[in-house]
Structure 1
Amino acid sequence: MASPKLSVIIPVHNESANIAPLCERLLPVLSRITQDWEVVFVDDGSRDDTLDLIRDVSRTEPRIGAVSFSRNFGKEIAIAAGLDHARGDAVVIMDADLQHPPEMIEAFVERWREGFLMVYGQRTDRSDETRAKRGFAQAFYKLFARFGEIPLPEGAGDFRLIDRKGVDALRTLGEKARFSKGLYAWIGFKATGVPFVVEERRFGTTKWSFRKLFRFAFDGIAAFSTVPLRIWTYIGFLVSFLAIATALFFMVRTLLFGTDLPGFPSLIVSIMFFSGIQLMSLGIVGEYVGRIFAEVKRRPLYVVAERVGGAAEVSSDIVPDTYRLRRA
């Protein structure tokens, strides 16, 4: 461990303006840590010249390489591809927009040398986000802590260092509806957080709209909890109880005061309300059935269109079933 091999995985999607500034800050940091390092860019179907710029950098620095997808598969899949191709004793995952300070990698490696197999960056400030986004994040972490299989450290994201043991464990998880934050926690291992402040994005715009964030949060809950399914059982019991109570109320009222003229508006409202409840419950069931359908098709997680430089070979320590399908 005096001079370990260190891999850095960087998913990119239309990040051409950030490639040069990122390399200017990242490469000196890696050289201070060890001379045995590699950078694996995962081009997630970029439509600008991101891959061309990475190819130019790779010609002057062969320790930089790239895996280019045939189309956009999403950041979670890009991270999985990076883990497949990273060959280091420790692997760092970070974004390309410099909101994850490259200098933090030195602190990650120090904690790793102390014996922690998972070292994650833990953001300490969300003042740059809107109030709605902060509230949404807090609500998600509370829901996940209450209903998820495993707890998530609040403020921890994809910016982290993972020991080779953890990387090999993650590579055996071939699920397609991936929620990486949950997978990091699920595999276990001794972990610790390192506080950091998220920097401002230098160039470009974020790819995460509020709709995508909501969908991502739902994927996380659905991947690690069956509560969305069970909750409709509870609602069914509640509705049944209210229906019985209402029936008893009208029966007693009819016996004491006689019948009233039936109300058409209340009938329509009741039908629409219970129809909505049924459709919502079917929708939740459909979400889980859709995930089962996607898994049983056994399609590969991603399709590689091109490999550049040092990322041309796949790490051979563990070859998951999904990669065997890609090779077939």
Structure 2
Amino acid sequence: MTFESVSVVVPCYNSEASLPLLLEQLLPVLEAEVDRAEVILVNDDSRDGTWNAITQLAGMYPNVRGVNLMRNYGQHNALLCGIRAARGEVVITMDDDLQHPPEEIRPLLSKLAEGYDVVYGTPQREQHGIWRDMASQMTKLALQSAMGTDIARSVSAFRVFRTQLRDAFADYSSPFVNIDVLLTWATKRFAAVPVRHDARTIGVSNYTFKKLLTHAVNMITGFSVLPLQLASYVGFGTMLFGVVILIYVLVRYVINGGSVPGFPFLASMIAIFSGVQLFVVGIFGEYLARMYQRTMNRPIYTVRDEVGGPVAQAVEAEQL
């Protein structure tokens, strides 16, 4: 393999039981693939003993680092924290629930070595429920609009990319974070590789249909102008509809010598145009809300504690 060092970033939430099993499978794979590897476990303010588990694992393994966030910021914010702390030339991101098999890292790195900058491990078969799968598809449609590339349909949390890409979003400070969109700011060299996707055996998913839908809305309004374009198209379409109705009324008046009778007809027209106006105003409101939140300079994340850093640095210095 052409890469000498990698950093594996794992956002952690209520994963006290799965993390030891993950590292048991992950570390041997990394040792076989690269000369130097580190694993960065970012605790997104879990409600169980996840941080205690990370602290113990960092003490057991010299190449494991832990970062403890002060509150729950979300998966992508935790990922960004780990990505900015990475020291390897390649970053690997994966979930903490054992659904991403560590042995599938090799084909991802092999594809990356072909000259790509980002490679996704697309599940051969999703291991989620029907509602979660539907919400994921909706999110990917929104992501395709935000990213402006067809690779969005193959996006996965299991991804590898060159660390230097983070320079493109080094100054990004909005509280709304989507790693996949940020990566498009640096490159268009994307690829996807089909990988195995295991069923979750420990715990339950923290992503509900509502959370995924909210994530899709935040993503499409935070990184795309499509809703504003849609509002323009809807407004233009209703204007044309109104013009057609006006022509119909005038023609009927000329031919029959009378106006169009009926209150329901007028009421329906008023309801249509009022609804369109409220819809467009709502879209503008979403964008204004995001602009307002950005002006408050809310932090993307805040770190409470870190473990494993000095030990890992000492071991790396010895290896060099």
Q: Which residue of 1 aligns with 2:181?
A: 182
Instruction: Name the aligned partner's letter for residue 307 of structure 1.
Output: E
Matched ranges for 1:8-47 at <5 A: 8-47=8-47
4+ residue runs of structure 1 moved beyond 6 angstroms? Answer: 311-314
Contact between 1:122 and 1:194, CA under 8 Å: does it hold in 2? Answer: yes
Q: Which residue of 2 aligns with 1:234?
A: 233
SS in 1 for 2:278: helix
SS in 1 for 2:65: strand
In the superposition, relative to structure 1, how do residues 120 and 143 fare at CA in structure 2: closer, same or farther (>3 Å)?
closer
Contact between 1:11 and 1:41, CA under 8 Å: does it hold in 2? Answer: yes
1:300 aligns with 2:299: yes
In the superposition, relative to structure 1, how do residues 311 and 245 fare at CA in structure 2: closer, same or farther (>3 Å)?
farther
Contact between 1:42 and 1:68, CA under 8 Å: does it hold in 2? Answer: yes
Q: Which residue of 2 aligns with 1:249?
A: 248
In the superposition, relative to structure 1, how do residues 198 and 170 fare at CA in structure 2: closer, same or farther (>3 Å)?
farther
SS in 2 for 1:162: strand
In 2: Cα distance, 1:284 partner to 1:295 partner: 17
In 1: Cα distance, 2:86 partner to 2:145 partner: 34
Q: Which residue of 2 aligns with 1:7?
A: 7
In the superposition, relative to structure 1, how do residues 64 and 218 fare at CA in structure 2: closer, same or farther (>3 Å)?
same
Instruction: Name the aligned partner's letter for residue 34 of structure 1.
Output: V
SS in 1 for 2:62: coil
Name stretches of at least 5 consecutive residues in structure 2 with no aligned partner.
Answer: 314-320
Alpha-carbon shift at residue 40 of structure 1 (Å) = 0.7
In the superposition, relative to structure 1, how do residues 253 and 119 fare at CA in structure 2: closer, same or farther (>3 Å)?
closer
Instruction: Name the aligned partner's letter for residue 225 of structure 2.
Output: T
Q: Which residue of 1 aligns with 2:91?
A: 91
Name stretches of at least 5 consecutive residues in structure 1 with no aligned partner.
Answer: 315-328
1:176-203 alpha-carbon deviations (Å, 9 max, x no partner): 3222222223321644322102110121
Contact between 1:13 and 1:46, CA under 8 Å: does it hold in 2? Answer: yes
Q: Which residue of 2 aligns with 1:119?
A: 119
Instruction: Name the aligned partner's letter for residue 90 of structure 2.
Output: A
Alpha-carbon shift at residue 254 of structure 1 (Å) = 3.5
SS in 1 for 2:279: helix
Contact between 2:127 and 2:198, CA under 8 Å: does it hold in 1? Answer: no
Instruction: Name the aligned partner's letter for residue 214 of structure 1.
Output: L
Matched ranges for 1:29-68 at <5 A: 29-68=29-68
In 2: Cα distance, 1:85 partner to 1:191 partner: 23
1:250-305 alpha-carbon deviations (Å, 9 max, x no partner): 23334415346542x44444433332221111111111112222223333211111
Q: Which residue of 2 aligns with 1:318?
A: none
1:79 aligns with 2:84: no
1:3-53 alpha-carbon deviations (Å, 9 max, x no partner): 722211000111112112111111211222235221111111111100011
Alignment RMSD: 2.8
Alpha-carbon shift at residue 57 of structure 1 (Å) = 1.4
SS in 2 for 1:158: coil
Contact between 1:95 and 1:159, CA under 8 Å: does it hold in 2? Answer: yes
SS in 2 for 1:233: helix
Contact between 1:9 and 1:82, CA under 8 Å: does it hold in 2? Answer: yes
In 2: Cα distance, 1:154 partner to 1:146 partner: 10
Alpha-carbon shift at residue 148 of structure 1 (Å) = 5.1
Q: Which residue of 2 aligns with 1:324?
A: none
SS in 2 for 1:11: strand
Stretch deviating more after TM superposition (15-24 or 90-99): 15-24
In 2: Cα distance, 1:262 partner to 1:224 partner: 46
Contact between 2:8 and 2:40, CA under 8 Å: does it hold in 1? Answer: yes
In the superposition, relative to structure 1, how do residues 194 and 214 fare at CA in structure 2: closer, same or farther (>3 Å)?
same
TM-score (norm 2): 0.86
